[in-house]
Amino acid sequence: MPRPSSHLMDRDAFSALIDRHRAAAPTGQARPGTAAAMALVTEGTVVSASEGPAEPRLPGTGLAVAGVPQPFALAHWWEEGEVWAAANHRIEMDIHGVASMTHIDAIDHFRWDGTSLPGGRLSDLSRGLVTRGVLVDVPGVLDVDVPPGHVLTLEDVQETLRRERVELQRGDALYLRLGRTGTRCAHSDLSADPMVGLSFECHEWLADAAPAVVLTDAGLDPNPSEVTGIPVPWHLLLLTGLGIPLVDMAALDDLSATCARLGRYAFASVIAPLPIPEVSGSPVNPLALF
């Protein structure tokens, strides 16, 4: 069952882990299986796993300040002709962090020892990620609450997959429901507030599973961290060690209900980042197709 986050690894051991995975050429990971995913679409049901920016939003735009969350802001104006009018909007938002909406982290969002993995720009995902999706719904399937500051254990994940009667395959999109509840607040402190996450004891299991992307309804990393001196070990391992992009702040309750109703936890997954150059991530609207 979920347990409080506790120390599992020191910084030196984590550094050795990252270096080992980087030396194993993570750019050769399994490719998404697009054709096989489309064969799973039999019901004609589409479920969105996207959530908007945290609240409250600002009344107007403002200059970004490094390290200060910038809640969603919207500028609005009209263009008018003799018999027509058009509403125009400019959106300003943080792509990452506490104020962000559902977004994908490109591989180059993080660096380790001064470098990013090759082939890790957002533009490398411009064709989207279309593959089989698998929801690992620990709170729903095991019927447990996961309080902030707690982690899902390896036993939780494996027992959930057993009850779901599904096997995670290389190149799948791993949807991991952590059980986050409530409306996200743009004024939260990710470094101080307790956060639900996945226990770092699962690192070898996830590396062996080699998903094409990992999606969670929080940020995967628990707070407090289980690695001394490393606040976001999962982000660093996936992005700088394994070469696996990560989707944060997804909304997985509707997907959980749909999977339970249909009695199936595998589906076609479509994730399409915006083609914006020179950025480390993008808002996304992950779609699960049944």
Kindly state whether residue 66 falls inside one of the protein's structural domains.
Answer: no
Which positions ≥6 away from 215 have C-beta within 8 Å? 49, 173, 174, 175, 176, 246, 247, 250, 252, 271, 286
**Phi and psi, residue 58, nearest 5°:** -80, 150
Q: In degrees, to the nearest 5, what angle opens at C-alpha 167 toward C-alphas 197 and 28?
A: 80
Kindly state whether residue 39 falls inside one of the protein's structural domains.
Answer: yes
Kindly state whether residue 81 falls inside one of the protein's structural domains.
Answer: no
Kindly state whether residue 76 falls inside one of the protein's structural domains.
Answer: no
The token pair at 89 is 């909007």
- Print pLDDT tens along the chain (290 aa): 999 999 999 999 999 999 999 988 655 455 667 888 999 999 999 999 999 988 877 655 566 677 777 777 778 899 999 999 999 998 888 899 888 899 999 999 999 999 888 878 888 888 899 999 999 999 999 999 999 999 999 999 999 999 999 999 999 999 999 998 776 777 777 778 899 999 999 999 999 999 999 999 999 999 999 999 999 999 999 999 999 999 999 999 999 999 999 999 999 999 999 998 889 999 999 999 99
Residue 40 maps to which CATH number? 3.50.30.50
Kindly state whether residue 62 falls inside one of the protein's structural domains.
Answer: no
Kindly state whether residue 42 falls inside one of the protein's structural domains.
Answer: yes
Distance CA 200, CA 102 (A): 23
CB 200 within 8 A of CB 233: yes
Closest by CA to 106, choosing from 123, 92, 91, is 123
In 3-state terms, what secondary structure has residue 218? coil
Closest by CA to 206, choosing from 231, 228, 239, 165, is 239
Distance CA 81, CA 59 (A): 27
CB 108 within 8 A of CB 277: no
Kindly state whether residue 184 falls inside one of the protein's structural domains.
Answer: yes
Q: Which amino acid is at 56?
A: P
246-248 β-sheet, strand order: 46-48, 287-289, 266-271, 129-137, 173-177, 213-216, 246-248, 103-105, 281-283
Distance CA 265, CA 254 (A): 13
Host domain of residue 276: 3-56+95-289
β-strands 129-137, 266-271 pairing: antiparallel
What domain count does the chain have?
1
Kindly state whether residue 190 falls inside one of the protein's structural domains.
Answer: yes
